[in-house]
A and B are shown apart, each in its own frame.
Chain A
Amino acid sequence: MSAEVLVFDILGAVAVLAAAGVVLARKPVHSALSLVVSFVNVAAIYVILRAEFLAAAQIIVYTGAILVLVLFVIMLVHPEDLPEFHGGRPIQRVLALILGLVLLGEVLAAILTRTVVGQPGPWSEQAVQAVGGNVQALGQVLYSGYVLPIQATALLLLVATIGALVLARPDSPRVRRVARDTATISLGHPRGADGANGVELPALPPVAGDRIKPETGERELVMAKSGDDFLDQPVWGERRRS
């Protein structure tokens, strides 16, 4: 038992240190990396508590998917475009302090008003063994007593996904149809026709005779010497904010 407590102490200490690293790191990627370390340590604590399924789900969902997407976004952003994390902004600092203290108070209140010692639930070790293990027990509970909350959560996530799709939709259907009907500018490079946010820029009125019907696909090709004739920004090279 003491070995387990020792392992728990080590894992907890590393998790807390890594969590501190998230807010102290100068580079956003280092913050994300610290968060990975923290999550993995928390998952290891779940394993000590014999909640293997929760540990695996934590790793797969949080470190394997969500943080990868966070890193994806961080890597796409130029470092110079990020707001200054450790600079001035006194109002934000004071606000952060107040909100942090409020959050700390909430967590403390939650911890202090509850006790971990209480009536043991129906899932004793024997009961879990009887249904075949942790995963089976969890599955039975989730899909018998908690069917409605699970369905509600699923519905909520579906709504959120559809909402994100609607928000990210570039244009009204009419504009998109117009964009689809215009020709592709072929420069031997796909960027010739791509605008911001993945919208295809409509081609400018072409000079007669330089459109060709490609053998495959339905869009006509506009042959151009230089993409600069069709776009506001230079086709080659970095896209800089003006």
Chain B
Amino acid sequence: MNWSAFISSYIFAFIVLNVMLGLMAYMTYIERKVMAAMQDRVGPNRTGPFGLLQPIADGVKLLAKEDIVPKNADRLVFLIAPLISFVLAPLSAAVIPFGGTITVFGHDVNLYVADINVAVLYVLALGGMGVYGIILGGYASGNRYSLLGALRSAAQVVSYELVLGLSLVGIFILSGSLSLVEILNAQQQPLTPFGGAIQIPNWYILSQPLGFVLFLIAAVAETNRAPFDLPEAESELIGGFHTEYSGFRFSFFFLAEYINMIVVSLMAATLFLGGIDGPIADGVWWLAAKAALFLLFYIWLRTTLPRFRYDQLMGLAWKVLLPLAVINVALTGLIRLWGLGLL
């Protein structure tokens, strides 16, 4: 076993995890500020300069609250459900490449935690597991509204994960790999259309526009964000699966949702927008800028669109998105075969 590589990736994982947690806290602040601006309000501005200490105040408040377990609850499942959500959320960040290999103190350090050859499937698998937090939390609360939220979540995630996976098959066909590092490398070769007159980056948003749109829609649904936040629809389900949760267990669900948003944004930036690739100097700042774009898009969606009705949600997934995703796969495959001269 290569111990120095193991330790360096362990340290890097520690840094990534902590950066994610910090970002998550300030993501709530940014979301409230941006939403306030969009809705012509002020937003948090009392705690610290510009309200910058608001996330810390929120955290302290949630920690200090009483942790209530309802009498009707399935106690063990009720207690572990938020932990499942929270633990699984940041694990996806382990396969996202934040850069190439750099040399620190004579050691080669990879700017990714792990380059596994099924990285994209790993992220999808974690997404599929993460839903257990919501389903079990809703079931264990012993509350009809929570149960309804859990049922909605089960149906929604199964449907949209299909779309999410199929929307990425085009990328797999083009890059010939499921590893995020190799997908990133494949995007860094410049394309030279029109006989080399101009050079454009080989970002997959250019060759997979339909896949990109499908991925974006399915990702919003997968992270339970508005307008797909049916499992927690507060106007009909009083908060859905987290109705009965209080204190820090509630905030675990909350944290998981925001970490999932950040991870999905990083994924979208890496898969479709070339990740760390950018003009002038490649680097993690380009990835951050692209991910920030997606996060702002999330907030923009939430302030703009009303929530879907449940049958519309399922109809959209099965009657519109899934056929489009299959068409995208077939078209990409045909074009790839034609490009290889096999058709």
Give Cα A57 to B128, complex, Å: 11
Contact size range, B: 20 to 34
Question: Residue on B with the closest CB to A59?
Answer: B125
B155-A52 in contact (CB<8A): no
Chain B residues with CB under 8 A of A135: 117-118, 177-178
**Complex-state Cα separation, A136 to B125, whole angstroms:** 19
Q: Do B176 and A71 touch (CB < 8 A)?
A: no
Q: Which chain B residues border A71 with CB–CB below 8 Å?
A: 135, 139, 154
Known: A29-B74, A52-B116, A76-B151. A60 touches B125 (CB 8 A): yes
CB of B154 within 8 A of CB of A68, answer: yes
Chain A nearest CB, measured from B98 CB (Å)? 22
Smallest beta-carbon distance A162→chain B, Å:
15
Partner of B161, one of A29, A33, A57, A65: A65
Q: Does B157 contact A (CB under 8 A)?
A: yes
Does A60 contact B121, Cβ atoms closer than 8 Å? Answer: yes
Task: Check A68–B157 contact: CB distance below 8 A.
Answer: yes
Contact count band on A: 20 to 34
* A68 with B135, Cβ < 8 A, contacts A33-B77, A60-B165 known: yes
Most chain A CB atoms below 10 A, which of B139, B151, B161: B139
Q: Which of B169-204 contact A (CB under 8 A)?
A: 176-179
Interchain CA distance A62-B325 in the complex, whole Å:
22
Q: Does A8 contact B (CB under 8 A)?
A: no
A75 and B150 contacting across the interface, CB-CB below 8 Å: yes
A63 and B128: CB pair below 8 A?
yes
Residue of B nearest to A3 (CB): B1
Q: Mark B232-265, 1 if CB is under 8 A from A, else 0.
A: 0000000000000000000000000000000000
B122 an interface residue at 8 Å Cβ cutoff? yes
> Which residues of chain A from 3 to 59 have any CB-CB distance to chain B below 8 Å in the complex?
27, 29-30, 33, 36, 40, 52-53, 55-57, 59
Expressed in whole angstroms, the minimum distance between the Cβ of A67 and any Cβ of chain B is 8
Interface pair A57/B129, CB less than 8 Å apart:
no
Contacting residue for A68 out of B77, B116, B131, B179, CB 8 A: B131
Task: Write the nearest CB–CB distance from A73 to chain B, whole angstroms.
Answer: 10
Q: Does B136 contact A (CB under 8 A)?
A: yes
The answer for the CA separation of A40 and B84 in the assembled complex, in Å, is 13
Cα of A31 to Cα of B146 in the assembled complex, Å: 20
The answer for the CA separation of A77 and B7 in the assembled complex, in Å, is: 49
Q: Which A residues fall within an 8 A CB radius of B?
A: 27, 29-30, 33, 36, 40, 52-53, 55-57, 59-60, 63-65, 68-69, 71-72, 75-76, 132-136
Given contacts A52-B116, A56-B122, A133-B117, 20 further A-B contacts (CB under 8 A): A30-B77, A33-B136, A36-B132, A53-B178, A56-B124, A56-B125, A59-B128, A63-B125, A63-B132, A64-B128, A64-B161, A68-B154, A68-B158, A69-B154, A72-B155, A75-B154, A76-B151, A133-B177, A135-B177, A136-B176
